[in-house]
Structure 1
Amino acid sequence: MSSHKPVITQKRYKAGITSPFGDLPYLVTETTPLSQGQKKLSPPQNDVNYNSNSTTPVKIDRLGYWLKGYNIKMYNCLVNGFKYGFDVGFRGSVHHNTVDNLLSAKTKPDIVRQKIQNEINANRFVGPFDSKPFTEMQLSPLGLAEKKMPGTYRMIHHLSFPEGSSINDNIPQDKCNVQYASIHNAIELIKTVGRKSFCAKTDISSAFRIINIKESQYKLFGFMWEGKYYYDKNLQIGCSSSCQMF
């Protein structure tokens, strides 16, 4: 038996998942001994704030450390995306418009006010402004959708309005397609790794909201509430490219 200290290493196994980066491997963690004189590398402990306007809990330098050895295109997309913001895929022209919020929002103004304030406190919404904060800025209406638990609501930003010139209308379809992992993918992975393997599943709270977008695209996610202008700095459920990006 080796007396060397163990180190956590990662091996990659393909399990039939495709993405814009091609076939992606799953990472499987294993413990192997360090060779004589080899030093264990540790992830960075100090987190650099690359963009003062960015709002994400992701520790970018630590992410870069754990992504070493991955597909370089995916590595650059993730690390640079969290550093400088992700591109939502919008390829149209900003539509100068005025909008009326949905009836669901107008009939429950107290709930909308609180949700807007919560997002401002989280540094994801910016506002209020008396006039548009950008020369070019597209507005989309707000609404409320009731959750499974009665009396609780999710605020929605209707990015498919107006039809024909909405934000979603100007995001190409190839940026919106997504295929999720299935139980069959999990079975194939377990068969590949072998017996005594461990599987884990996790859930991320407000998952899309941890994804920061490019500053140049803040102007796409504007809205009005009670005569004031606001804009959003993070990915939204209503954006047609959100699922693929996440």
Structure 2
Amino acid sequence: MARDPFVSPLVTTQGEPPVSLHSRVPLAPGEDIIELYTAVAQTGVPNYIGARIPVKTSLNIPVWRALLANYSNTSLPDFLEFGWPINIHPENYNFPQNVHHSNHRSALDYQADVDLFIDKELRYGAMCGPFRANPFPFPVFPAPLQTVAKRDSDTRRVVVDLSYPSGQSVNDAIPKNTFLGEPISLVYPSVDTMTEMILDKGRGCLLFKTDLRRAYRQLPVDPADYRYLCYCWRDNWYIDTRVCFGLRSASVMCQSTTSAITFIEREKGYSVTNYIDDFGGAEIAPLAPAAFASLQRTINVLGLEEAPEKAIPPSTCMTWLGIEFDTVEMVRRVPSFRLEEISNLVAQWLMKRKATKRELQSLVGKLVFVSACVPPGRLFVSRLLESLRKLRCNHHRCRLSRDFRRDLEWWRRFLHEFNGVSLIASTVYTAPDDIVATDACSSGCGAISNGQFFHAMFPDFVLRKCARKIHVLEMLTIVVAARKWGHRWAGLTVLVYCDNISCVHVLNSGRSRDSDLLQCSRELWFLAAVHRFELRASHIAGTDNRIPDHLSRWHLSDTHRQQFELLTRDVNTVEIPISRDDFELDCQL
């Protein structure tokens, strides 16, 4: 049977004689690549330390060095001139032996996309080839190619699967938490970063952004690592000389490079941030045009290629990291199509019993996206992450726990109510906008906030379950307070005074091992998310929590009513009614 012409040939194993340099038959210029690899590799250290042979690149290295003279990452210009080490530990690389190599089905099914990718990258000089056989004088394992769909595009992204085969791949030999032996300290900006920039510049400030074209593919790789970046297509071999999609260390390299550009702009006094290949900025109206022009000019003089079709000139409304920011209305918006997509996904997951790590990663990624605008939602992602951390490989499966499903049910309820809009508010806690004090005894509860108060006996269904769980009764009282006053707390930070330490801990940490407390907490954070308020808690000694204490015992003796009136005689107070329904939770106690 004839071999599939789109399946690459078997790799020479280590037991076979090495391929001679003279046996290589290049179909395109590239002979110098192997000589460059040899010259750098024989030093035994990265190119920027040993051979220091400049690699071919469009980057304007003298300008990089001049503009980054005071930059903390002093090695960055060297990485750009002599190539980024991919951070592999060769001693940990288990060369795949006797492994049949072929490209993934997603590449074989979309051959035209792969052809276009290779033709384009060859024109850019980002890869070398084609070669009729392994171009190195020793066995190497070509990584399989795969493609993934791009959002809002008919084309597909070509990815080099450097995680194959599992346990013997290039990525397996690249550490996750260190780069060249140093801890990775990069902090990727978030939606909160742009929020703080807007708050700093004020209502009506102008936002702008731009992207790099082929960001990873503009960054050169250390020639000593070329041997790890080979792949085959249509029976020909290719060598990547640029950072590729699918490389574990790619995002660190790109983020480090673009962070240097952000540094350059901030040195000029402009507010700019970066996420991998995206740049976003916020400035007062008079400075915004100059800041935007400066960012584009800097990218150009450094020799990087911008994607001008994605650039957004200064405007009061802009989408950043998938979230739309409006500095006139001071709100953030999640696109409606995203909300619908995520709602449908959650509904599907509620019918699941088991899931793989890859499936969990997809779900968590989408919920994290919404959580960028909904702080309470982050609590219900953190517990999903616990399930994710237990799985080592992408194909490993786990059983979805009861708490996992309850968190998904929280998301289902919330997404049904959420209109995608949240206020732009500071993520830094300074002082509360409102204060509520609550208390519960074994039979009743009470709370007071801004002149309004309530008191009530607990319904029978609550006492049957929680009569001896005072911490749960305390938390349930806070839930009732949020139901009664949540609408007026919209956009505010609210401080809860509570004399129960367990409740204070749960409110401030979002964590508890008590299932009844978690049920109350789910309801409380649902109200906080819907009404867009932030809740903080402070412990107060019982002897100092006198007014709520009398409210919770109102029904026990007329003395408590009298003491309440005495303590609030200088305050205009209004009692609000409480019904049995106010104690009902979506997940019953």
Provide the rounded CA distance (Å) in 1 between the counterparts of 2:149 and 2:197: 37
Where does the alignment leave 5 or more consecutive residues of structure 1 unmatched? 1-49
What residue in structure 2 maps to residue 108 of structure 1?
110
Structure 1 or 2, whichever has the larger Rg, is: 2
Q: How does 1:202-241 map to 2 (within 5 A)?
A: 202-241=210-249
In structure 2, the CA distance between the partners of 1:81 and 1:69, relative to structure 1 (3 Å rule), is same
Per the TM alignment, residue 190 of structure 1 is displaced from its structure 2 partner at its CA by: 6.9
Q: What residue number does 2:155 align with?
A: 152
Change (3 A) 1:66 1:118: same
Supply the AA of the counterpart residue of 1:66.
Answer: L
Counterparts of 1:58-97 in structure 2, within 5 Å, are 58-71=59-72, 74-75=73-74, 77-91=75-89, 92-93=92-93, 95-96=95-96
Question: Which residue in 2 is equivalent to 1:182?
Answer: 190
Three-state SS of the structure 2 residue aligned to 1:79 is helix
Partner letter of residue 228 of structure 2? L
Give the number of aligned pairs. Answer: 193
Q: Which amino acid aligns with 1:83?
A: E
SS of residue paired to 2:211: coil
2:153 and 2:195 map into 1 onto residues whose CA distance is 37
Which string of whole-angstrom CA distances, capped at 9 and with x for unpartnered residues, describes residues 29-82 of structure 1?
xxxxxxxxxxxxxxxxxxxxx856433x321110111111122xx12x211001
Structure-2 separation of matches of 1:197 and 1:67 = 29
The TM-score normalised by the length of structure 1 is: 0.69
Name the counterpart of 2:549. Answer: none
Distance 1:162 1:187, change over 3 A: same
1:124 corresponds to 2:122: no
How many angstroms apart in 2 are the aligned matches of 1:195 and 1:63? Answer: 35
Q: Secondary structure at the match of 2:245?
A: coil
Counting only pairs closer than 5 Å after superposition, residues 12-51 of structure 1 correspond to structure 2 as: none
Structure 2 residue 175 is matched with structure 1 residue 167: no
1:163 is paired with a residue whose SS is coil
Structure 2 CA distance for aligned equivalents of residues 196 and 153 of structure 1: 38
* Larger RCO, structure (CA 8 Å, separation 6 or more): 1
Q: Which residue number corresponds to residue 21 of structure 1?
A: none
Gaps of 5+ in 2: 1-51, 255-589
Deviation (angstroms), 1:110: 2.8
**What secondary structure, in the 3-state scheme, does the structure 1 residue paired with 2:210 have?**
coil
Separation of aligned partners in 2, 1:104 and 1:202: 30
Q: Which secondary structure does the structure 2 equivalent of 1:95 belong to?
A: coil
Contact 2:162/2:246 (8 A) holds in 1: yes
- Tell me the alpha carbon deviations over residues 193-239 of structure 1, each in whole angstroms, 9 at most, x when there is no partner: 99999865331111111111100001101011121111101111211
Give the whole-Å Cα distance in 2 for the aligned partners of 1:63 and 1:196. Answer: 34
Task: Give the direction of change, closer, same or farther, for the CA distance of 1:192–1:153 in structure 2 (3 Å limit).
Answer: closer
From the superposition, tell whether residues 136 and 53 of structure 1 become closer, same or farther in structure 2 (CA, over 3 Å).
farther
1:95: how far off?
1.8
What CA distance in whole angstroms lies between the structure 2 residues aligned with 1:151 and 1:191?
38
Q: Secondary structure of 1:137's match?
A: coil
Distance 1:234 1:165 in 2: 22
Amino acid at match of 1:79: P
The C-alpha deviation readout for 1:78-99, integer Å capped at 9, x for no partner, is: 1100110011111133625551
Structure 2 length normalisation: TM-score? 0.30
1:46 maps to what in 2?
none
Aligned partner (choices 249, 253, 258) of residue 245 of structure 1? 253
Q: Quickly say closer, same or farther: Cα 1:108–1:188, change in 2 above 3 A.
A: closer
Cα distance between partner residues in 1 of 2:150 and 2:61: 32
**Alpha-carbon separation, structure 2, partners of 1:190 and 1:145:** 34
Q: As a proportion of its length, which structure holds more helix?
A: 2
Shift of 1:142: 0.8
Cα shift at 1:144 = 1.6
Structure 1 partner of 2:562: none
Deviations 1:86-122 (A, max 9, x none): 1111113362555100112112323322221111111
Residues 193 and 175 of structure 1, relative CA distance in 2, 3 Å threshold: farther
Cα offset, 1:179, TM superposition: 3.1
Q: 1:61/1:140 Cα in 2 relative to 1: closer, same or farther (>3 Å)?
A: same
Kindly indicate whether the alpha-carbon contact (under 8 Å) linking 1:89 and 1:172 is maintained by their aligned counterparts in 2: yes
Structure 2 partner of 1:99 = 101
Q: Runs of 4 or more off by more than 4 Å in structure 1?
A: 50-53, 186-200
**Cα root mean square deviation, aligned:** 2.8
> Secondary structure at the residue paired with 1:154?
strand
**Does the CA-based 8 Å contact 1:223-1:230 persist in structure 2?**
yes
Residue 133 to residue 242, structure 1, CA distance change in 2 (3 Å): same
SS in 1 for 2:209: coil
**Taking structure 1 as reference, are residues 150 and 245 closer, same or farther at Cα in structure 2, changes over 3 Å only?**
closer
Identity %: 25
| Counterpart residue type for residue 108 of structure 1 | Y
Work out the CA distance in 2 between the residues paired with 1:235 and 1:79.
16
Structure 1 residue aligned with 2:146: 143
